[in-house]
Amino acid sequence: MKTFPQELLDNARTLPASAVALRQKRYGIWQEISWQDYARRMIDTARGLLACGLKHGDRVAIIAANREEWLYAELGTLAVGAVAVGIYIESVASEIEYVINQCEATVVFAEDQEQVDKLLSLRGNLPSVRAIIYFEPKGLGEYRDPRVMHLGALWAKAEAAAIPVAEIERLIGQTSIDDLALLAVTSGTTGGPKLACITYSAMTIMAAGMNSVDKKNRGDNYLSALPMPWMGEQMTIVGCHLAAHFTVNFPENLETVEQDIYDISPQFLVGPPRYWQNLASQIRSGIDDTTAFKRAAYNLLLPLGERYAAAVEAERAGKGHVPLLVKLGRIVGELLLFRHLKDTLGLARMRVPMTGGGSLAPDAIRLFHALGIPLKQVYGQTELCGISVMHQAGDINFETVGQPLPNTEIRIAESGEIQTRSKASFAGYWNNPAETEKVLVDGWLYSGDAGYIDEASGHLVVIDRLRNLCHLADGTSFSPQFVEDKIKFIPVVQEAVVFGDGRSFLVALINIDARLVSLWAENNQIAFTTYRDLAAHPKVYELVARHLDKLNSRLPESFRVQRFVLLPKELDADDGELTRTNKVRRSAVSEKYRSVIEDLYGVENKTARLSIEISYRSGRVQRLEEDLKIREMLCP
């Protein structure tokens, strides 16, 4: 095994100049970076960091969007023998301060003026930071803080210091695979995030497992759209990329991702559940808004794909074979509809689509399989390099997350907790032995997730977080996440949080999908001005209620949502309601919206009183007070 800088140097020496390592879109034009240029920029960055006084074992923080410079900063850091620490670009100043001080970073790479301003606003609170290096120069020309410089100035600093390339190559050669490569920020669903110590060997072992079950080739394209600090993305664009030599493509910005996927037509893609959920909603709403002829064709042909997907699922379970007529129906659907739809979405060449970082409703997965998009689920923790369990090759079960990767074992404790042992396990939490001892016991990682092994397939089924499992007043057990996933499959719903522990029935706080509901409102001549205005409209309530009524009819009686409100704002990480990976902080939401939840259980109440504070990235805080309409469902 080799360290990542060692692998990059080897690739630059052995791969042809025509091989494309990275591709970055700027001003609508895709710019290609060869493996040789990638290695050169790594060395340039490493020389500059040495000129700034960086030493082996120092920590370097990176706060940026998905872009080539992130990799120059990360690999340049590793080349010196230092440790990289990714910070989510949406983080507010206090969150940045927490992570930087926790790891005592000496250098920080920052995307642009916004991120530099966050850092400078913390001046006296970041005693370890000696240099701030930015990527985008716009607006920063007049800054006079001596610590602040452009990435180009860092490279020039290396030239002025006359640090030889041979010195960087010597340092790269001295780095061991057992050295720390990253401090990975955990989700922090129950409090402040921790920093997981990830070694080169752990990432290399897990990357080998990922590449072995889903082979990736030189010439394949991957679009990097998940946050760079997320461990799963790190595994893909660093660990798997350096070993498999495919091309990593960076979008122009998050708003252009859909167009960029269409441009690239990637062979594989890892998207969060929200991406695939939104795409499913987009497909269904697009059909609703199209011509009557196209809508009829979709309604006629989609069942052909659904029958084929169901037959394949039954065949994998050992329940017969796919009938010839079903196969022929699938071919007809592909020729007349599915191929065109996939091409429109940029998924025509998609070979390995994956979803991770949260749960996705099985119904959403079935939809994609019906269209011929073989979406797979992955599961893991930051502490296990992000991905440790996944659907492998064609062994896909819509209700599960698959089987462990090579060198990984899974067991279910008596409590129902999923526990994992792997050679790719983390080396502990940074400067936090007490927390490490809680989750790493005799080599087994305690996940905090509840699940079981499906006996028929041997696949892992994830139920929910252990602490989230609830009981109704009559003792009936339920998983809020199970019901929430069903609700989020409703096309016009963006997010849902279900409550009912110790109560006689379930209630829900719901966020509408602003884009899809706005289109629906415009098509139905419904006037509105803001998200808050739209969410409060009686016809929007009726729209959601109709969908929820259909869902309730398919759920066990105890799992039916009987009352709900539409929130006047989207749940947001800046307000502490979501993590930076868009997972709901259930305890925070429960506390913040306590009065709304209590009013939902007042059976005579027609409205629920909302009184909360909203935080803006500028630091401004505003109080939101409103009486929310309670919609009662007619549950038989």
Give the whole-angstrom CA distance, residue 380 versus residue 392: 14
What local confidence, expressed as pLDDT, does residue 192 receive? Answer: 67
Across 606-622, average pLDDT: 82
What local confidence, expressed as pLDDT, does residue 47 receive? Answer: 97
pLDDT above 90 (res 110): yes
Share of the chain above pLDDT 90, in %: 72
pLDDT above 60 (res 189): no
- Mapping DSSP onto H, E and C, the string for 524-563 reads CCCCCCCHHHHHCCHHHHHHHHHHHHHHHHHCCHHHCEEE
Dump pLDDT digits (tens) for 406-458. Answer: 989 999 999 999 999 999 999 999 999 999 999 999 999 999 999 999 888 89
Q: Which residues, in sequence order, are CB contacts of 548 under 8 Å at separation 6+?
A: 487, 490, 561, 564, 633
Rg (CA), the chain: 25
What local confidence, expressed as pLDDT, does residue 190 receive? Answer: 52
By mean pLDDT, which of 429-433, 503-507, 575-579 is the weakest?
575-579
pLDDT above 80 (res 557): yes
CB-CB contact of 198 with 181 (8 Å): yes
What local confidence, expressed as pLDDT, does residue 628 receive? Answer: 96
What local confidence, expressed as pLDDT, does residue 188 receive? Answer: 63
Dump pLDDT digits (tens) for 197-206. Answer: 999 999 999 9
What local confidence, expressed as pLDDT, does residue 280 receive? Answer: 85
What local confidence, expressed as pLDDT, does residue 290 receive? Answer: 76
Assign 613 a pLDDT band (cuts: 50, 70, 90): confident
Across 470-488, average pLDDT: 91
**How much is the mean pLDDT over the chain?**
92
Q: Which residues, in sequence order, are CB contacts of 389 under 8 Å at separation 6+?
A: 378, 379, 380, 401, 402, 403, 404, 405, 408, 410, 460
Find the length of the chain.
636
Assign 618 a pLDDT band (cuts: 50, 70, 90): low
Higher pLDDT among residues 189 and 542, named by residue: 542
Q: Which residues, in sequence order, are CB contacts of 530 under 8 Å at separation 6+?
A: none
Count of CB atoms within 10 A of residue 270's CB?
Answer: 26
What local confidence, expressed as pLDDT, does residue 104 receive? Answer: 97
pLDDT above 80 (res 376): yes
By mean pLDDT, which of 21-25, 224-228, 271-275, 614-618 is the weakest?
614-618
Dump pLDDT digits (tens) for 279-319. Answer: 888 887 777 677 888 888 888 999 999 999 989 888 877 88
pLDDT above 80 (res 544): yes
- Sign, CA dihedral 183-187-192-194, equals negative
Q: Give the angle 65-425-418 at the CA atoms, nearest 5°.
A: 100
Share of the chain above pLDDT 70, in %: 98
Amino acid in the structure at residue 363: D
Assign 617 a pLDDT band (cuts: 50, 70, 90): low
- Sign, CA dihedral 611-491-366-350, equals negative
Assign 351 a pLDDT band (cuts: 50, 70, 90): very high
Q: Based on the number of CB atoms within 10 Å of its own CB, is 464 exposed (0-12), middle (13-18) or buried (19 or more)? A: buried
Q: Which tokens belong to 4?
A: 């990542």
Tell me the domains of the chain and their CATH numbers: 4-175+226-239 (3.40.50.12780), 270-463 (2.30.38.10), 469-632 (3.30.300.30)
What local confidence, expressed as pLDDT, does residue 30 receive? Answer: 96
Counting Cα atoms < 13 Å in the Cβ hemisphere of 320 gives 8
What local confidence, expressed as pLDDT, does residue 440 receive? Answer: 95
Give the whole-angstrom CA distance, residue 403 versus residue 378: 9
Question: What residues are paired with 6 via a beta bridge?
Answer: none
Across 180-185, average pLDDT: 96
Beta strands in 169-321, from DSSP E residues, in sequence order: 180-185, 195-199, 221-223, 247-250, 268-271
